Structure 1
């Protein structure tokens, strides 16, 4: 007869898996991961609330033209910020699940992908009429460097 799992083991298997066999430091990492996950989840929930409230306000209360590009920039900025936070949170949870098999903490590939998303977000919200060419050149260089880094990481991982 299989052991009956308690509520915590059923609801959060990525947290409780192999707890007794973990070293003190691995337990510390897992607890920190849980705290970060909860904090980011709370941040995402608050951001979603403000996103919906701001979109409603922008579309129906304060704007005269719902097709104004600045409105789309503001909405995309908020959406991408939430997506970046969710991807970061997902990477923490995935790391807890993979901890026993692969070891380590956050994988560099995930950090590079999140950085690419952040730079793309920056490109989307740039004010075209107030654009400094050197600023654009710096962002372009950053995205090229991040893309090359991601390509190298994927290439090294496939060998």
Structure 2
């Protein structure tokens, strides 16, 4: 009976794996692609800083509300502020994720669907932090129209992407059968 190897496995550190992937992408890139990658890396670092600061601000605000016992479920302004900050962090994380995918998957610089998703999140954030008592009806109508338009565009892009993926899968399966 063979003994199983119980020694420590050499798992690659995730940071080292990312670094090696980064170097591989930069080695294989053309000069223009390298320029795009440097810009994407710069934006990624900036978004990481912004996300970190926004998260610290969110934690501090929630801590202050809890510590000073000022959480009042009847005061929507507090919840609007907290959830507005949460959405800010979510938007930053989504943007960072799209930049990472663009970098490593060699997609377009930023995909249209991702831009629409981020815009929808921003409009949703605006609705959450909106004070309905002080907001003009035309502003609500404009935000609703923007939300509807972004949703339709997002849906159209998603449908187009799914049709492209289906055609690609069908052509690959036909090619495999030959």
The answer to whether the aligner puts 1:106 opposite 2:113 as a matched pair is: no
Provide the C-alpha distance between the structure 2 equivalents of 1:131 and 1:111, rounded to a whole number of angstroms: 27
The answer to whether the aligner puts 1:49 opposite 2:64 as a matched pair is: no
Q: Which stretches in structure 2 are left out of the alignment for 5+ residues? A: 1-11, 164-178
- Relative to structure 1, is the Cα distance of residues 18 and 73 closer, same or farther in structure 2, using a 3 angstrom cutoff? closer
TM-score of the superposition, structure 2-length normalised? Answer: 0.78
**Which of 60, 71, 74 is the matching residue for 2:78?**
71
Provide the C-alpha distance between the structure 1 equivalents of 2:16 and 2:80, rounded to a whole number of angstroms: 43
Q: Which has the larger radius of gyration?
A: 2
Provide the C-alpha distance between the structure 1 equivalents of 2:102 and 2:71, rounded to a whole number of angstroms: 46
Q: Is 1:14–1:96's contact at 8 Å kept on the other side of the alignment?
A: no
Matching of residues 88-99 of structure 1 within 5 Å: 88-99=95-106
Q: Which stretches in structure 1 are left out of the alignment for 5+ residues? A: none
- Could you list the per-position Cα deviations for residues 49-107 of structure 1 after superposition, in whole angstroms to 9, with x for gaps in the alignment? 111111111233272635522111111000000110110011000111110xxx42100
**Higher RCO (CA 8 Å, separation ≥ 6 residues):** 1
Matching residue of 2:158 = 154
- Relative to structure 1, is the Cα distance of residues 59 and 67 closer, same or farther in structure 2, using a 3 angstrom cutoff? farther
- Could you list the per-position Cα deviations for residues 101-137 of structure 1 after superposition, in whole angstroms to 9, with x for gaps in the alignment? xx42100000000000000010111101112100000
Matching of residues 1-159 of structure 1 within 5 Å: 10-61=17-68, 63=70, 65-99=72-106, 103-159=107-163
Residue correspondences, number: 151
- Could you list the per-position Cα deviations for residues 35-61 of structure 1 after superposition, in whole angstroms to 9, with x for gaps in the alignment? 111111011111111111111112332
